């Protein structure tokens, strides 16, 4: 990274918003109107506009952005808050629907992670993800949604549009691609039973914190190996580490990541969390050799934006809210090569499992 004023201001506000602390940098503010516009644009690209807004509220009055920018940012965050409230209501509505049909879904990511944040309603919510432990329940859930007339995003797709909200159904919990990792993941899942959260007035099943951080970590790695991942997902992991530090079995996590062959990649992730997200090193679940990981991932995260959507070298065109990629093969080869020495098993198996899953659709 270039470490210019825009980047420094962005990460200063991100850290302040996440942790509620304003560690003053005398040479950083005030910013010009143009610089504030650039910081705002970056926040939107990374879908962390609510987090930076919380940091902005901690600034001294003389260092705030121009009034017009403050109003624009406030309107955007109001939309984030309303979207969160509606998402919670829809989650509760969907939960009633599934339970009525004898199905017991587990909520993944999203609003189940938002509760770990200092200001949960300012985390930008994305899709609603439901996991079904039994394959039969996964199939029945799709059948019931079809009977209800809920449209999908494509033939054979397990992604549905419920009142305009993308709802993803999953029969696979972890996005690890090495087929020999199944027994390891099955065992740790059994050792840490699911729990519940109150969302939209209902008790919703969610993963135990120990399993939740593994699931989020696997999700980050999957997208890192494909088209990219943004800062919001790293903020999710940092928030989980912070909130559930006392509940995480760090030795078990370290052993799992070592057995999965991703421990060196985890070190690079932890380095990003400490250096750029501001997570205190003592909140990491285990001592990580962050300074010697030999891998820096912040540049591609910063320039690629949320899920790589702002990496213009790999975007062909935009169709409504969707992105059409170009140079896919070249991009995947570059990423797999980059990550091979740090997550060899996943980099090796990723293209095979990815191709197999595409043929199943």
Question: Residue 202: inside a domain, yes or no?
Answer: no
- Pick the more confident residue, 76 or 351: 76
Question: Residue 173: inside a domain, yes or no?
Answer: no
Which own/partner contact pairs does 222-225 have at CB distance under 8 Å and 24+ positions apart? 222/175, 222/177, 222/350, 223/307, 223/308, 224/297, 224/335, 224/339, 225/332, 225/335, 225/336, 225/339, 225/343, 225/346, 225/347, 225/350
Question: Residue 93: inside a domain, yes or no?
Answer: no
CB 265 within 8 A of CB 297: no
The whole-number average pLDDT for the span 121-128 is 96
| Torsion sign (Cα): 34, 35, 41, 44 | negative
Would the pLDDT of 357 be above 90? no
- Residues listed for the chain: 361
Could you read off the pLDDT of 11-49 as tens digits, one per residue?
Answer: 999 999 999 987 776 678 999 999 999 999 999 999 999
Partners of 204 in beta bridges: 197
Could you read off the pLDDT of 219-277 as tens digits, one per residue?
Answer: 999 999 887 899 999 999 999 999 999 999 999 999 999 999 999 999 999 999 999 99
Question: Residue 134: inside a domain, yes or no?
Answer: no
The whole-number average pLDDT for the span 150-163 is 90
| Number of folded domains that form the chain | 2
Host H or E run for residue 197: strand 195-199
Instruction: Out of 65, 80, 110, pick the residue that ends a domain.
Output: 65
Could you read off the pLDDT of 47-56 as tens digits, one per residue?
Answer: 999 999 999 9
Instruction: Out of 32, 49, 65, pick the residue that ends a domain.
Output: 65
Range of the domain at 226: 208-361
Query: Cα separation of 317 and 179, whole Å?
Result: 34
Question: How sure is the predictor about 325, in pLDDT bands with cuts at 50, 70 and 90?
Answer: very low
Question: Residue 269: inside a domain, yes or no?
Answer: yes
Question: Residue 5: inside a domain, yes or no?
Answer: yes
SS percent in the chain: helix, strand, coil, step 5: 60, 10, 30
Question: Residue 139: inside a domain, yes or no?
Answer: no
Question: Residue 87: inside a domain, yes or no?
Answer: no
Instruction: Out of 18, 46, 65, pick the residue that ends a domain.
Output: 65
């Amino acid at each position: 990274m270039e470490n210019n004023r825009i980047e420094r201001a962005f990460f200063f506000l991100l850290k302040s918003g996440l942790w509620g602390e304003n560690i003053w940098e005398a040479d950083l503010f005030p910013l010009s109107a143009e610089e504030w516009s650039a910081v705002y644009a970056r926040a939107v690209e990374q879908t962390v506009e609510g987090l930076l807004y919380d940091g902005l509220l901690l600034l001294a009055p003389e260092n705030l952005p121009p009034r017009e920018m403050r109003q624009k940012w406030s309107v955007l965050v109001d939309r984030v808050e309303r979207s969160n409230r509606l998402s919670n209501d829809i989650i509760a509505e969907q939960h009633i629907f599934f339970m009525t049909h004898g199905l017991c879904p587990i909520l993944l990511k999203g609003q189940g992670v938002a509760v770990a944040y200092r200001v949960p309603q300012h985390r930008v919510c994305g899709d609603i993800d439901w996991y079904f432990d039994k394959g039969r329940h996964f199939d029945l859930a799709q059948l019931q949604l079809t009977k209800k007339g809920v449209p999908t995003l494509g033939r054979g797709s397990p992604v549905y549009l419920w009142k305009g909200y993308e709802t993803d159904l999953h029969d696979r919990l972890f996005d690890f691609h090495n087929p020999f990792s199944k027994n390891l993941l099955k065992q740790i899942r059994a050792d840490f039973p699911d729990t519940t959260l109150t969302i939209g007035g209902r008790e919703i099943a969610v993963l135990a914190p120990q399993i939740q951080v593994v699931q989020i970590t696997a999700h980050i790695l999957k997208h890192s190996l494909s088209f990219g991942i943004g800062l919001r997902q790293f903020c999710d992991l940092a928030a989980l580490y912070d909130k559930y530090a006392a509940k995480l079995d760090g030795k078990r996590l370290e052993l799992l990541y070592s057995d999965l062959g991703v421990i060196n990649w985890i070190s690079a992730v932890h380095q990003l969390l400490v250096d750029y997200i501001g997570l205190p090193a003592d909140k990491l679940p285990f001592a990580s050799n962050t300074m010697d990981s030999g891998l820096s991932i912040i540049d591609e995260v910063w320039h690629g934006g949320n899920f790589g959507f702002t990496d213009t070298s790999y975007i062909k065109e935009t169709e409504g809210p969707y992105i059409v990629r170009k140079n896919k093969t070249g991009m995947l080869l570059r990423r797999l090569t980059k990550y091979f020495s740090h997550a060899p098993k996943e980099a090796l198996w990723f293209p095979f499992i990815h191709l197999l899953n595409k043929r199943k659709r």
